[in-house]
Chains A and B, each alone.
Chain A
């Protein structure tokens, strides 16, 4: 999992990197910083895979809803993935004549 994170997994991990969140807060945060509207079904599908891989962890329930947090492994995996993506983005932008912002 850590070798190649899906786009949705990156969005969820990036959101959780800002602090633990429950489902609704996660959806809204992703929508705000990425402009991507994840559905609840997709979100919990991604969370299931990430939790299986040990990249996120459920915290004690608050008002019947579990907040989720990123684990140290999740932080490392996200860091690796974003670094790879950034490298590719820099090369790609340079080759099409656009400077990375």
Chain B
């Protein structure tokens, strides 16, 4: 946090306090920050407490109302931003159609069961040695790039492929469906 930040936080104080103590206060904040004695969270909390303490009881009510209003506006703005901007992360789902062979070592398969890789589930799967359509969620996420969901899915391919190669699956058929994590969370 820079001096610019501490000066911005200074605006939470009444004008008379800013004018009278502002330079001393920011200098002390910066000194404590430089010494590693004041974390960002503590600085913010301290400024809010200080801004409250420096006001009379009547002024405090107005200040708190202003803070709550600003928090609500910020939350509303962030919510709007989240809906209008592309998701930052995607979750890929790999649909696997695989045939296990009797030669596949027991316990070596690392997918199956509709969830993340599970060695115990794979042991049962290999024992059956049948052609089975399995759905495995590859629990990896990647930073989205311009281009949307398809690009996100491509980025997951290496991680999913690593899982499958370890599984020693025969004839895998993989379909990637990339779902923005933020949208998936909203649906729940």
The interface of chain A, by Cβ under 8 A from chain B, is 6, 8, 23-24, 27, 39-49, 64-66
Whether the Cβ atoms of B38 and A45 lie closer than 8 Å is no
The interface of chain B, by Cβ under 8 A from chain A, is 9, 13, 16-17, 20-21, 23-25, 27-29, 31-32, 38, 42-43, 45-54
- State whether A39 and B50 are in contact (beta carbons under 8 Å apart), knowing that A45-B13, A45-B17 are contacts in the complex: yes
* Contact among A27, A45, A47 for B52, CB-based, below 8 A: A45
Identity of the chain A residue whose Cβ is nearest the Cβ of B21 in the assembled complex: A44
Which chain A residues border B51 with CB–CB below 8 Å? 41, 45
How many cross-chain pairs have Cβ atoms below 8 Å apart between A and B? 72
Whether the Cβ atoms of B27 and A65 lie closer than 8 Å is yes
Whether the Cβ atoms of A41 and B29 lie closer than 8 Å is yes
Label chain B's interface by main secondary structure: helix
Whether the Cβ atoms of B53 and A40 lie closer than 8 Å is no
Whether the Cβ atoms of A41 and B27 lie closer than 8 Å is no
Whether the Cβ atoms of B25 and A41 lie closer than 8 Å is yes
Which chain B residues border A43 with CB–CB below 8 Å? 28, 50
Q: List 16 A-B contacts (CB under 8 A).
A: A24-B32, A39-B45, A39-B47, A40-B50, A41-B29, A41-B43, A41-B50, A42-B46, A43-B28, A44-B21, A44-B28, A44-B50, A45-B51, A45-B54, A48-B16, A64-B24
For residue B50, give the distance in angstroms from its CB to the closest CB of chain A. Answer: 3
Whether the Cβ atoms of A42 and B38 lie closer than 8 Å is no
Q: How far is the CA of A48 from the CA of B21 in the complex (A)?
A: 8
Whether the Cβ atoms of A45 and B53 lie closer than 8 Å is yes
* Contact among B20, B23, B31, B46 for A41, CB-based, below 8 A: B46
Which chain B residues border A8 with CB–CB below 8 Å? 53
Q: How far is the CA of A43 from the CA of B29 in the complex (A)?
A: 11
Whether the Cβ atoms of B43 and A24 lie closer than 8 Å is no
- When A and B form their complex, which 6 residue pairs have the shortest distance between CB atoms, in order from nearest? A39-B46, A41-B50, A45-B53, A45-B50, A45-B54, A41-B46
Centre residue among A6, A23, A44, A47 by max chain B CB count within 10 A: A44
Q: How far is the CA of A8 from the CA of B17 in the complex (A)?
A: 17
Whether the Cβ atoms of A49 and B53 lie closer than 8 Å is yes
- State whether A66 and B53 are in contact (beta carbons under 8 Å apart), knowing that A39-B46, A41-B43, A41-B46 are contacts in the complex: no
For residue A91, give the distance in angstroms from its CB to the closest CB of chain B. Answer: 28
